[in-house]
Structure 1
Amino acid sequence: MNETVLKELNDGVLVVTLNRPDKKNAFNAAQWQGLADALNEAGKDDNVNVVVVTGAGNNFSSGQDLADFESLPGGGGASYRTCEDAVTVFDKPLIGAATGVTVGGGATILFYCDVLYVGQSLRLRVPFTSLGMAPEFASTYMLQARIGTQRAAEILLSSKWVDADEAVATGIAKAKCSDDEVLATALKTASEIAQWPVNALKETKRCLNVMHQAGIQAALAAEHDAMGRQAGSPENMEAVMAFLEKRKPDFKKLIKK
């Protein structure tokens, strides 16, 4: 059993919990694979009508575990790419419940939630420019489809932090709750949805998403190319080393004079 991802099914609602709370649910190879497996299995299980994704402890996910070099996305980590595939094609309702730190892959996954609730402690960031990297999970398409081009550009280019109020105001999230209530709120919505036939839910989601499929695939292709160029680049290595050494990266020293 993959204990980095927990599953619990009740009355058609499957709760999938990222479970590395001591690491703020940062993704290592096992957790990437565990989430992919959970979604792929849920998609095939007629007992599952809705999936709720959340994180153990006080945080949804701090993104890629930079100490786990085996699963670094730019390095071609198989489990990361498997998870990206599973998330982008998941065809049942997906409800998110996120609190605390929500960074990188921990944020871009949430852009695929059909409904997202956030706790008041939410601190969301897509930090790819600060890591000398390119975005992932077709977030360059999904974020602007969700909140508009200018707002998405600001968030992606600046690597800024987004709090719960801004997440709701921009449309990233539907509503802000207290941290103690966010999962219960998500489960209430999931239960309301789960009472209906699973095929009707899948067909409705398909109709909602059909116009986005070409954009997602185009963004994935562009991002994979960009990530291939940036992974292991001098600026990317400086960012990773600065993180591991707990210092601020110095990108200016990389500029050729």
Structure 2
Amino acid sequence: MASDLINVNDAGVLTLTVSTSAAGTSLDHELVMESREALRSVTRGKLDAGAIVLRGAGKNFCAGGNVAKFADAPDRGDYLRGLADDMHSMIEFLWETELPVVAAAQGWAAGAGMSLVLHADVAIGGTSTKMRPAYPGIGLSPDGGMSWLLPRVVGAARARHIIMTDQILDATRALELGILSEVVEDDSVVDTAYDTAAQLAAGPRGSYSAIRKLLQASATNSLTDHLAAEAASISALGNTAEGIEGVNAFLEKRRPDYPGVR
């Protein structure tokens, strides 16, 4: 792994950098591929991590795809299909890890960048953060799961409006809509994201995994089916080392030591 862009720190946080200052902080295809391999390693038990931070290494989180490269491709459709397939494969592994995901959404998160922010469980923005679907502006349609996730976050009618009119959402509006979880000063975005991820990495991994599964399933489950899933989940966790530690720590009035029982 590229030590400064894709790595796991001492707190167990896996950094996935999706853009750099090169090419206007557009989505970096090589970093997407490196991120996919790191996530694959997590799912195969070859890399240990407790949480993930998605970030950009430049002034923006990610300003979208590299449109200049779209234009240079001999077959633009084929090129775009390849880019989308690669990013989607990375996203599938992101979900397969079952780890909490935190986005450090500084500056612009446009196009694919906005899509990636939507995959975060916790998205930290700055006062200058801006988001934009961007796809209609270049005559294209969303990728990265935007058209699946945004309706689940803001509702179908708002999602249609935001995407089709290519709205620019400032930090306040993105927070109101639930796309951002928290807004901090611009120079605190990355540190806040890492602090949040470190807290999650030290927490009950089984609990977080179960919460993510239940929340995802809630969109299509009936209430009866979902109540059954919740009952099965809490029952299974009750007999895990983390579940036992959490209950015991509560009764003993101490902070639970989840890393110590893993």
TM-score norm. by structure 2 comes to 0.72
Superposed CA offset, 1:205-247 (max 9, x none): 2222124589xxxxxxxxxxxxxxxxxxxxxxxxxxxxxxxxx
More displaced stretch, 144-153 vs 204-213: 204-213
The whole-number CA distance in structure 2 between the counterparts of 1:43 and 1:177 is 32
What is residue 250 of structure 1 aligned with on the other side? none
Q: Secondary structure at the match of 1:24?
A: helix
Alpha-carbon contact 2:8-2:49 (below 8 Å) kept: no
Does the CA contact (< 8 Å) of 1:5 and 1:34 recur in 2?
Answer: no
Q: Report the residue type matching 1:78 in the other structure.
A: G
Q: Is the 8 A contact 1:13 1:50 kept in 2?
A: yes
Counterpart of 2:238? none
2:15 alignment partner in structure 1: 15
Q: Does 1:84 align with 2:80?
A: no
Give the SS at the match of 2:186.
Answer: coil
Letter in 2 for 1:20: T
Per-residue CA shift, 1:82-113, capped at 9, x if unaligned? Answer: 22132145221111111112111011011110
Change (3 A) 1:5 1:37: farther
1:44-193 to structure 2, matched below 5 A, reads 44-45=44-45, 47-69=48-70, 75-89=79-93, 90=95, 91-193=98-200
Q: Which moved more, 1:43-52 or 1:67-76?
A: 67-76
The separation in 2 between residues aligned to 1:173 and 1:7, in whole angstroms, is 24
Q: CA deviation at 1:8?
A: 3.8
CA shift in 2, pair 1:5/1:84, >3 Å: farther
Comparing 95-104 with 184-193, greater Cα deviation is found at 184-193
Q: Which amino acid aligns with 2:26?
A: A
Report the CA distance between 1:34 and its aligned residue.
Answer: 2.4
Shift of 1:143: 0.4
Mapped contact 1:33–1:80 kept (Cα < 8 A):
no
Map of 1:39 onto structure 2: 39
Name the SS of the counterpart of 2:6 in structure 1: strand
How many equivalent pairs are there?
A: 214
Shift of 1:114: 0.5
Identity of aligned residues (%): 23
The answer to whether the Cα contact below 8 Å between 2:19 and 2:61 also exists between their aligned partners in 1 is: no
Separation in structure 1 between the aligned mates of residue 64 and residue 220 of structure 2, nearest angstrom: 24
User: In structure 2, the residue corresponding to 1:47 is in which secondary structure?
Assistant: coil
Alpha-carbon contact 1:7-1:17 (below 8 Å) kept: no
Q: What secondary structure is seen at the aligned counterpart in 2 of 1:181?
A: helix
- Paired with 1:95 and 1:43, the residues of 2 have a C-alpha distance of 18
- Cα distance in 2 for residues equivalent to 1:14 and 1:151: 33
The CA deviation string for residues 157-197 of structure 1, in whole angstroms up to 9 with x for no partner, is 11121111111011110111111111121222212211134
Query: Take 2:43 and 2:76, find their aligned partners in 1: how far apart are those partners?
Result: 26
8 Å contact kept, 1:43–1:92: no
Aligned to 2:256: none
TM superposition score normalised by structure 1: 0.74
Show the 5 A alignment for 1:211-226. 211-212=218-219
Give the 3-state SS of the residue equivalent to 1:67 in structure 2.
helix
**Structure 1 residue 145 displacement after superposition:** 0.3
Alignment check: 8 A CA contact 2:19 2:26 kept: no
Q: Mind listing any 5+ residue stretches in structure 2 that lack a counterpart? A: 222-262
Q: CA distance change for structure 1 residues 28 and 17 in 2, over 3 Å: closer, same or farther?
A: closer
